[in-house]
Amino acid sequence: MKIGLVGLGKMGLNLAQNMMDHDHEVVGFDLNQDFVDQAASFGAEAATSLEDLLSKLPSPKIVWLMLPAGKPTESTIATLTDTLAKGDYIVDGGNSFWKNSVEDAEKAEAKGINFFDCGTSGGQSGARSNGNFMIGGTSLESFNAALKPVFEGIAQKDGYLYTGAAGSGHYLKMVHNGIEYGMMEAIGEGFDVLEHSQFDYDNEAVARLWNAGSVVRSWLMELAEEAFAKDAKLDEIRGTMHSSGEGKWTLQESLDQQVPTPVIALSLMMRYRSMEDDTFTGKVVSALRNGFGGHAVDKA
Ligand SMILES: O=C(CO)[C@H](O)[C@H](O)COP(=O)(O)O
């Protein structure tokens, strides 16, 4: 297969190499010329623009996006929907909001373009090899015809699934990331309790121990082991926990469906709380305690 890959950042560049490792040709484009040059140095064909990339693809054209969710992805899909022809393929491999994918697919499919929304998991190393992919889209037939052979190579065994109608791939990735929020928060909290205990635990040794056959062994625990190996008390980093939106979307969806998801909800709240050094909530509560009970307040 010859695939046009748009977006050659951390994930896209690794995915390009993964595809080429499995005998696919890649034409790469990114607004950042350095990324294009890097992809070319690995053997990808460099494109100077989206139009140039399309001109280098045989029909049916397969255009695979690895762009930040939101405007960069949506505007590129709109351009592709205007430009591509019946039978061509769009694969959105970013972390797009699933409702956008449903709408994007409707517009693309109205023109006979196949649209697939592909949640990509496994981080940068998974993109590079043995990845994990959750793929919704136009039909199983069109998936099997052009994309299945690609996923057979770039995914690990059992590491890809056609999940049904367009939107279902990114919906599944959204929930995956909600789970990810909860798992990471639990791991973080567990180590926080250890840090505050009367005992002197070696965090790296604990993570290594738990990775050796315990119930909580996991890739996340392995990443914790690696992080503690580099910086035993993580003194070099702040505890601000950024978020890209998928946890929020999972919570919004669970509220819409009236499904109780307290772990995911609180994990998201903890991320938001971590972005503030102090809180206005805290100031108000402190003032109220002082007001009704004369309790001490800490001065700013
Ligand atoms: O999809 C991912 C992992 O599965 C991305 O790394 C994503 O950015 C993680 O979400 P967040 O940035 O909100 O922590």
Expressed in angstroms and rounded, the spacing between residue 180 Cα and the centre of ligand 1 is: 8
In this structure, the answer to whether residues 77 and 226 fall within a common structural domain is no
Q: What is the pLDDT of residues 62-113, one digit of tens each?
A: 999 999 999 999 999 999 999 999 999 999 999 999 999 999 999 999 999 9
Expressed in angstroms and rounded, the spacing between residue 199 Cα and the centre of ligand 1 is: 33
Which pLDDT value is given to residue 294? 97
250 lines ligand 1 (CB under 6 A): no
Q: Is 92 inside a domain boundary? A: yes
Q: Is 217 inside a domain boundary? A: yes
Ligand 1 atom closest to 243 (CA): 13
Structure letter (DSSP) for residue 147: I
In this structure, the answer to whether residues 233 and 255 fall within a common structural domain is yes
Distances (CA, A) of 219 to 95, 123, 146, 241: 20, 11, 31, 19
E strands, the chain, in order: 2-6, 25-29, 45-46, 62-65, 89-92, 114-121, 131-137, 155-164
In this structure, the answer to whether residues 100 and 223 fall within a common structural domain is no
Neighbours of 241 (CB within 10 A): 17
> How far apart (Å, rounded) are the C-alpha atoms in residues 263 and 226?
25
244 lines ligand 1 (CB under 6 A): yes
* Atom 7 in ligand 1: residue holding the nearest Cα: 244
- List the 114-121 sheet strands across, edge first: 45-46, 25-29, 2-6, 62-65, 89-92, 114-121, 131-137, 155-164
Query: H-helix or E-strand containing 46?
Result: strand 45-46
Q: What is the pLDDT along the chain (300 residues), one digit of tens a residue?
A: 999 999 999 999 999 999 999 999 999 999 999 999 999 999 999 999 999 999 999 999 999 999 999 999 999 999 999 999 999 999 999 999 999 999 999 999 999 999 999 999 999 999 999 999 999 999 999 999 999 999 999 999 999 999 999 999 999 999 999 999 999 999 999 999 999 999 999 999 999 999 999 999 999 999 999 999 999 999 999 999 999 999 999 999 999 999 999 999 999 999 999 999 999 999 999 999 999 999 999 999
Ligand 1 atom closest to 247 (CA): 13
In this structure, the answer to whether residues 115 and 74 fall within a common structural domain is yes
Which pLDDT value is given to residue 298? 97
CATH number of the domain that residue 131 is part of: 3.40.50.720
247 lines ligand 1 (CB under 6 A): yes
Which pLDDT value is given to residue 43? 97
Structure letter (DSSP) for residue 54: H
Which pLDDT value is given to residue 223? 98
Q: Is 228 inside a domain boundary? A: yes
Q: What is the pLDDT of residues 242-255, one digit of tens each?
A: 999 999 999 999 99
In this structure, the answer to whether residues 153 and 90 fall within a common structural domain is yes
> How far apart (Å, rounded) are the C-alpha atoms in residues 87 and 61?
8
Task: Tell me which residue has tokens 């590129």.
Answer: 76
CATH number of the domain that residue 285 is part of: 1.10.1040.10
Testing ligand 1's pocket by substitution, the residue of 92, 95, 124 carrying the most ligand atoms inside 8 A of its CB is 95
Instruction: Respond yes or no on whether the N-terminal peptide bond of residue 60 is cis (omega within 30° of 0).
Output: yes
Amino acid at 299: K
In this structure, the answer to whether residues 195 and 254 fall within a common structural domain is yes
In this structure, the answer to whether residues 149 and 78 fall within a common structural domain is yes
Q: Is 43 inside a domain boundary? A: yes
Amino acid at 170: H
In this structure, the answer to whether residues 17 and 148 fall within a common structural domain is yes
Using a CB cutoff of 8 Å and minimum separation of 24, what contacts does 47-53 make? 47/4, 50/6, 50/76, 50/79, 50/80, 51/83, 53/4, 53/6, 53/27, 53/28, 53/29
* Atom 14 in ligand 1: residue holding the nearest Cα: 243
Ligand 1 atom closest to 119 (CA): 1
Structure letter (DSSP) for residue 262: H
Single out the residue in 143, 164, 185 at which a domain terminates: 164
49 lines ligand 1 (CB under 6 A): no
Q: Is 298 inside a domain boundary? A: no
In this structure, the answer to whether residues 138 and 276 fall within a common structural domain is no
Single out the residue in 139, 164, 189 at which a domain terminates: 164
Cβ atoms 93, 65 nearer than 8 A:
yes
Bridge partners, 63 (sequence order): 4, 90
The residue range of the domain holding 238 is 173-293
In this structure, the answer to whether residues 96 and 196 fall within a common structural domain is no
Expressed in angstroms and rounded, the spacing between residue 214 Cα and the centre of ligand 1 is: 25
Testing ligand 1's pocket by substitution, the residue of 170, 177, 187, 250 carrying the most ligand atoms inside 8 A of its CB is 177
Return left, alpha or beta for 159; rule: phi > 0 is left, psi -120 to 50 is alpha, else beta: alpha
Sign of CA dihedral 43, 49, 53, 56: negative
What's the start-to-end Cα distance of the chain, in Å? 62
Expressed in angstroms and rounded, the spacing between residue 277 Cα and the centre of ligand 1 is: 23
Number of domains in the chain: 2
Cβ atoms 166, 102 nearer than 8 A:
yes
In this structure, the answer to whether residues 271 and 123 fall within a common structural domain is no
Ligand 1 atom closest to 246 (CA): 13
Expressed in angstroms and rounded, the spacing between residue 96 Cα and the centre of ligand 1 is: 11
Look up the pTM and report it: 0.96
Q: Is 299 inside a domain boundary? A: no
Cβ atoms 21, 13 nearer than 8 A:
no
Q: Is 267 inside a domain boundary? A: yes
Single out the residue in 164, 188, 213 at which a domain terminates: 164
Length of the chain: 300
> How far apart (Å, rounded) are the C-alpha atoms in residues 131 and 15?
9
Q: Is 300 inside a domain boundary? A: no
In this structure, the answer to whether residues 28 and 76 fall within a common structural domain is yes
Catalytic sites, residue numbers: 173, 180
